[in-house]
């Protein structure tokens, strides 16, 4: 297999391969980098797997700057000649409960034992790094064949039970690469979703996966549509009310550019308590710290037309005068200052108002309030 790096990175990789021989370990590219290269894509991040203890290996290198070490997982973040490279030890993991974070039971295992803990066959391909910069492919789960066929397969039948976020990662790969779950995987997924075990579920891990799934605005609408129609929401909760037309309309109404963020917040946020506003001032004060994404999601969750009033009519209203200006006019410090500012703002929020400039506001105060 050929991997096209620039001359600088090639030299770094060659030096690492020579040092691995000296240290008596084998090193590999694995996972996303190998998958992307086999698919004709340019690798972005460089991760190296050490068949042994990566921390000990990296510490033996005098040309490496160690940025951080995660001892429990045997991983090291480094910088070499300005290039960020992450090292990981081969390891064996187990899942005490469905959906929880795995426990590492062994650091420095055989490469085959490390590969079997991974999610899909397409990500369980390793390429051994040699000083000649030749790369020896290790593909014990036929991941290369699944890449060529565009098929997503897990490595064992309990994979989705161990880690339900693999369903969402699979959806991400499906949309990114135009792949499909294998028929057997479809059955395994639906079997899990019929009776999801959420007792040990790591919600942080689910949210992290959803963040990645909705990181693309181009794929966001397809992602949330399949998240709903395929019942993937059952990983987190029993019901999920979704209407694609309503979502598309709201995105247009609020001129949303970050579609993925809207979809993510729509999934994760509970319906807010709808408020009965008594005035445009109350509307303004309630929504003034909302982003456009927040407004869009609130509208989707409540269908409250006040969000549209705020967005279209009130959002850009600015109060020019400050408390100091009122003190300079002769008003005394205290509650009266806030009350006056509220009255001026309320007057500006009226559709037919002719209060626009600083001078207009000062004149309104002089006409309305007595010193």
pTM of the shown model: 0.88
For the record, the structure tokens of 59 come out as 């510490």
Q: Is residue 203 in a domain?
A: yes
| φ, ψ (nearest 5 deg) of residue 34 | -65, -45
We report the CATH number of the domain holding residue 128 as: 3.30.460.10
Considering the domain architecture, whether residues 59 and 176 belong to the same structural domain is answered as: no
Tens of pLDDT along 146-201? 999 999 999 999 999 999 999 999 999 999 999 999 999 999 999 999 999 999 99
Q: How many CB atoms within 10 Å of residue 138?
A: 19
Mean pLDDT for the stretch of residues 62-79: 95
Considering the domain architecture, whether residues 135 and 172 belong to the same structural domain is answered as: no
Give the pairing of strands 75-80 and 65-70.
Answer: antiparallel
Considering the domain architecture, whether residues 165 and 145 belong to the same structural domain is answered as: no
Considering the domain architecture, whether residues 92 and 144 belong to the same structural domain is answered as: yes
Domain that holds residue 348: 323-368
For the record, the structure tokens of 94 come out as 């187990």
Q: Is residue 32 in a domain?
A: yes
- What pLDDT score was predicted for residue 230? 97
Q: Burial code of 39-77, b = ≥16 C-beta within 10 A, e = fewer?
A: eeeebeebbbbbbbbbbbbbeebeebeeeebeeebbbbe
Q: How many CB atoms within 10 Å of residue 335?
A: 8
Considering the domain architecture, whether residues 301 and 342 belong to the same structural domain is answered as: no
Considering the domain architecture, whether residues 336 and 305 belong to the same structural domain is answered as: no
At which residue do the structure tokens 């709201």 appear?
250
Count of structural domains within the chain: 3
Q: Is residue 83 in a domain?
A: yes
DSSP 100: S
Q: Is the predicted pLDDT of residue 366 greater than 90, yes or no?
A: no
Q: Is residue 188 in a domain?
A: yes
Q: 310, 295 in Cβ contact below 8 A?
A: yes
Tens of pLDDT along 234-276? 999 999 999 999 999 999 999 999 999 999 999 999 888 888 9
Q: Is the predicted pLDDT of residue 106 greater than 90, yes or no?
A: yes
Considering the domain architecture, whether residues 88 and 202 belong to the same structural domain is answered as: no
Mean pLDDT for the stretch of residues 131-157: 95
- Rounded CA separation 134/86 (Å): 20
């Amino acid at each position: 297999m050929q991997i096209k790096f620039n001359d600088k990175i090639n030299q770094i990789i060659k030096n690492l391969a020579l040092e691995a021989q000296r240290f008596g370990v084998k090193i590999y590219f694995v996972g996303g980098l190998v998958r992307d290269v086999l698919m004709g894509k340019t690798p972005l991040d460089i991760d190296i797997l050490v068949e042994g203890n990566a921390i000990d290996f990296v510490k033996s290198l005098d040309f490496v700057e160690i940025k951080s070490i995660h001892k429990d997982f045997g991983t090291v973040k480094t910088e070499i000649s300005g290039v960020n490279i992450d090292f990981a030890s081969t390891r064996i993991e187990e899942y005490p409960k469905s959906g929880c974070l795995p426990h590492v039971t062994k650091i420095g295992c055989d490469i085959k034992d490390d590969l079997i803990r991974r999610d899909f066959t397409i990500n369980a391909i390793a390429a051994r790094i040699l000083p000649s910069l030749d790369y020896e492919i290790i593909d014990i789960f036929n991941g290369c064949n699944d890449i060529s066929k565009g098929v997503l397969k897990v490595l064992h039948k309990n994979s989705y039970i161990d880690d339900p976020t693999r369903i969402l990662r699979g959806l991400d790969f499906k949309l990114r690469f135009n792949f499909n779950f294998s028929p057997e995987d479809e059955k395994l997924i639906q079997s899990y979703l019929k009776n999801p075990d959420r007792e040990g579920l790591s919600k942080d891990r689910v949210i992290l996966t959803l963040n990645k799934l909705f990181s693309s605005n181009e794929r966001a609408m397809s992602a949330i549509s399949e998240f709903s129609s395929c019942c993937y929401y059952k990983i987190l909760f029993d019901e999920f009310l979704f209407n694609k037309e309503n979502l598309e309309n709201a995105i247009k109404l609020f001129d949303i550019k970050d579609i993925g963020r809207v979809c993510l917040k729509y999934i994760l946020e509970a319906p807010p308590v709808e408020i009965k506003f008594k005035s445009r001032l109350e509307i303004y004060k309630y929504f003034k710290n909302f982003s456009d994404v927040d407004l869009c999601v609130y509208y989707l969750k409540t269908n409250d037309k006040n969000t549209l009033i705020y967005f279209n009519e009130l959002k850009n209203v600015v109060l020019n005068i400050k408390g100091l200006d009122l003190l300079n006019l002769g008003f005394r410090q205290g509650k009266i200052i806030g009350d006056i500012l509220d009255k001026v703002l309320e007057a500006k929020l009226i559709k037919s108002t002719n209060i626009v400039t600083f001078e207009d506001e000062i004149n309104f105060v002089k006409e309305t309030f007595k010193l």
